[in-house]
Amino acid sequence: MQIIKYPGRNEWAQLVERPHLDISQLNGVVSSVLDDIRQRGDEAVKHYEQKFDKVELSSLAVTEAEMTEAEALVSDELKAAIALAHHNIKAFHESQKFVSQKIEPQPGVVCWQKSVAIQRVGLYIPGGTAPLFSTVLMLATPAKIAGCEEIVLCTPPNREGKVHPAILVAARIAGVSKIFKAGGVQAIGAMAYGTESIPKTYKIFGPGNQYVMAAKQQVSLHDVAIDMPAGPSEVCVIADETANAAFIAADLLSQAEHGIDSQVFLITTSEEVIDKVMVEVDKQLNKLPRKEIAAKALDNSKMVLVKDISEAIDLSNTYAPEHLIIQTDNYNDVAERIVNAGSVFLGKYACESAGDYASGTNHTLPTHGYATAYSGVNLDSYCRKITFQHLSAEGVSNIGPAVEAMAAAESLDAHKNAMTIRLKEIKQ
């Protein structure tokens, strides 16, 4: 990890830059696969499953027999853990339900909103070296609470044509409607355009590799909404002299093991903390099965020594991290000044892993600095707000002249007339 001491604010823009992945060369490949999916549907999906995932599939849909088999393959201990996590995620997202209220800004003018669920959503769950069954809970649970009529899940199978059993168990618990064996670009294309087996969805959620991200961006231009722009996962830790160095090292490594393009970022007011964390990182890194991945991520990572907590907060807000852990004596005061972050963890015991799995908050969060403008996935991500208004004759009388004046000023005469003819009728 790079150690930077007392950088000037004029250096911050460069300091907070993430490792850049040039995906421009991917766009041609992604575009050709998407076009093929649009043209050939299931046949193309199966072709690319054979090409990329090395599996020949007779059918894309996961059967009920496979769901039953998965139940038997998952231990009671893991099922209980999944159930606990689901309970907490459900409780947290249920608290976000929208309550509509009618307002009367002028007598005779009544306005209100209604929250309406997106009817059909698509969830992408990566397979690979770390099948993310926890993401199933994070994406499907709020979709179910929101009232989405159909929740479609795509995930790559293994070479035997099987989906990881924990993914299937989590999907059943969370209320997924249909599950399909499809990964990568072909899965995104299938959910964007629809195939003979896989329904077209209206919004696609979920993480993935650079090919998946490029595919989501391409289909979002014309065909389907997506949850948010996304890049590699990241964590930032703000620490003072009271922080626990072993805990910080564990948190940094928990993020670094995600992938070689992940980044971890420590901001501290204590040089001693940097020294202790470096020792702990070396100690803990050597015990990790994913040591090589984590080590490469650490090469992209930084420890920054700053003058005081105020500067630490400002630098963190400039970085706008996906995950922010605050290990300071006055963490509540620090938290009050945080304006750019995906999810914040307060105190030495609130590790990022808690939010990743079971505290209840959502772990699908904006990365790459997008926390300056985007929220993490929440109940509203699965809903649309439709506005309603009712005008009585009194309401038309009260706002009609203002409407006429504004329409005339914009030279939109038909707009003005639509109100004028109503005003004339009322006056008769």
Residue-by-residue pLDDT tens, the chain, 428 positions? 999 999 999 999 999 998 776 667 888 999 999 999 999 999 999 999 999 999 999 999 999 999 999 999 999 999 999 999 999 999 999 999 999 999 999 999 999 999 999 999 999 999 866 789 999 999 999 999 999 999 999 999 999 999 999 999 999 999 999 999 999 999 999 999 999 999 999 999 999 888 999 999 999 999 999 999 887 889 999 999 999 999 999 999 999 998 888 999 999 999 999 999 999 999 999 999 999 999 999 998 999 999 999 999 999 999 999 999 999 999 999 999 999 999 999 999 999 999 999 999 999 999 999 999 999 999 999 999 999 999 999 999 999 999 999 999 999 999 999 999 999 999 88
Two structure tokens written together for 275: 């020294």
182 vs 43, 70, 323, CA distance in Å?
A: 12, 18, 29
Q: Are strands 109-117 and 263-268 parallel, antiparallel or unpaired?
A: unpaired
**Domain 241-374 falls under CATH 3.40.50.1980:** yes
What is the CATH number that goes with domain 392-427? 1.20.5.1300
Provide the CATH topology of domain 24-106+115-226: Rossmann fold (3.40.50)
**Phi, psi (deg, nearest 5) at residue 117:** -70, 145
Q: Which helix (H) or strand (E) holds 303?
A: strand 302-305
- How far is Cα 20 from Cα 232, in angstroms, rounded to an integer? 10
Helix (H, G, I), strand (E, B) or coil at 375: coil
- What is the helix, strand, coil percentage profile of the chain, to 5? 50, 15, 35
Same fold, 24-106+115-226 and 241-374: yes
Are 401 and 112 within 8 A, CB to CB?
no
**Phi, psi (deg, nearest 5) at residue 234:** -155, 155
Q: Are strands 225-226 and 120-124 parallel, antiparallel or unpaired?
A: unpaired
Find how far residue 164's CA is from the centre of its chain: 22
Q: Which amino acid is at 94?
A: E
Note the pTM of the prediction, 2 decimals: 0.94
Burial 76-90 (b: 16+ CB within 10 A, else e): eeeeeebeebbebbb
User: Taking the domains of the chain in order of start, what are their residue ranges?
Assistant: 24-106+115-226, 241-374, 392-427
Helix (H, G, I), strand (E, B) or coil at 310: helix
Active site residues: 322-323
Are 423 and 397 within 8 A, CB to CB?
yes
- How far is Cα 121 from Cα 141, in angstroms, rounded to an integer? 12
